[in-house]
Chains A and B, each alone.
Chain A
Amino acid sequence: MPASASTDPGEVSDLDLVKRSQAGDTRAFDVLVTRYRGRIYAMTYHLIQNETEAWDLAQEAFIKAWRALPSFKHDAGFYTWLYRIAHNVSYDWLRKKKIQGDGEFDDERTEHRVAAGAEATPRGDLAPDAALRNAELGQRIQEAIAKLSPEHRQVIVLREVEGLAYEEIAALIPCSLGTVMSRLFYARKKLQEQLHDVYETSN
């Protein structure tokens, strides 16, 4: 699972801050918010792909964490626990948006028609990072991720951003290991398809 931020010598530990927060010390909780807001916001942003919504959801995650603090047992790291809350808040939001059917997520309908080795596969020895400036490629990647379904976006973020092992992803979602691998495969195929012109340009 995601590891806690390394603390500098002399810096108050998560454990101490959590204990003080559980006793009602809102200043201690504010330190925890400051310590982890950047990582939680990055996760919600990558999942939601909307700055305002990601900001609100990150905040909602911290509020839920505050409410749930009395039940926090210290058997997992605070960040791991907080990350689960933030992930669930964000993913619930994504599912509701999908149910509302605004047509944004379209890859579920095409998942099984993307043939391996078809046009989605870039040709030759390509170096997209060298072909486009980093900022441009970064923008293209963000746009491509925004078009993924919630399920595919979720596994990409958990694997590529957070570096979670398959077992950890399966436990967090939750689903089987096979589902994790299948989703990762099709999510990457879909991204390759979305970024096809980038690879072509650099060829």
Chain B
Amino acid sequence: MKHPTEEHDLIRWIDGEMNETERTTFEERLKQDPALATEARQMRALSSSLRTHLPAEMRVPHEDFFNTQIQVRIAQMAQDDARAKQASSSWGDILQWMRQPWFALAGTAALAVLGFFMLSPATGDASESMILSSYTPNTNVQARTYHDNGAEATVLMLDGLDAVPAERKVSGINIQRSEVEPELASTTMYDHKGTAVLMISRDALGNPMLTPRG
């Protein structure tokens, strides 16, 4: 093992970090020490190879998706901020239900339930859809969504999910609109055909209750 000073001199010589006097002195020393000269030469060759084979810029895989995901996450952060300011709304109450442990639909399965609400039901333009809330019974799973304009589809990303067998059926509910009935403390959700598909209400004990419709 070399003395630290020798290691540092060698490194500084390889990296061109010596001043003229230091460099001249060190190169005189190399002439007197063939083993050190060989080591210095080889380490410099390695350094050169590293610079050749480690590009400072690389093409990002799926670069458009890379940008899109960043934009989606920025939008989600803004949405979260806005939502935090509206926590007292009735919708907020309902969405709180969906975060309760009882809402686990498939028990051990890490299925995600998403509520899709169209901002403009009349147009039917998917690009105007907005995800108001997502819930995953398995807390190790994070659900993220974004709209892919090219595919004209809303994409659901589940991070932390165990491998899902290809034959397993995964389904969701596409909600186009909803109606809140304050007197009954219930919300009925309708699909794109106008059919009521789900009602959220409370039972006699005040616990949230989901009732499939249609």
Contact = CB atoms under 8 A, between A and B. Distances in A.
A67 B54 contact: no
A191 interface: yes
A185 B11 contact: yes
Contact of A161 (B12, B42, B54, B63): B54
30 contacts: A30-B71, A38-B58, A42-B56, A42-B57, A42-B58, A51-B61, A55-B60, A55-B62, A59-B66, A59-B73, A66-B74, A67-B77, A117-B39, A126-B42, A141-B50, A141-B53, A145-B54, A161-B50, A161-B51, A161-B56, A178-B8, A181-B7, A181-B11, A185-B11, A188-B11, A188-B14, A188-B46, A189-B43, A191-B46, A199-B42
Interface of A: 26, 29-30, 33-34, 37-39, 41-43, 45-46, 51, 55, 58-59, 62-63, 66-67, 112, 115-117, 121-123, 125-129, 134, 137-138, 141-142, 145, 156-157, 159-163, 165-166, 178, 181-182, 184-185, 188-189, 191-192, 195, 199
Interface of B: 1-2, 4, 7-8, 10-12, 14-15, 17, 35-36, 38-39, 41-43, 45-47, 49-63, 66-67, 69-71, 73-75, 77
A11 B60 CA distance: 22
A112 B56 CA distance: 30
A112 B1 contact: yes
Nearest to B57: A38
Nearest to B73: A63
Greatest chain B CB density within 10 A among A58, A66, A159, A185 is at A185
Given A138-B53, A160-B54, A30 B70 contact: yes
Contacts, number: 129
A33 B50 contact: no
Contacts of B51: 160-161
B59 to A, nearest CB: 6
B77 A33 contact: no
Contact of B70 (A59, A141, A165): A59
Contacts of A66: 70, 74
Contact of A195 (B11, B46, B61): B46
Given A185-B11, A188-B11, 19 more contacts: A29-B70, A30-B70, A34-B63, A34-B67, A59-B66, A63-B73, A117-B38, A121-B39, A127-B45, A142-B53, A161-B54, A161-B56, A162-B56, A163-B56, A178-B8, A182-B7, A185-B10, A188-B46, A189-B43
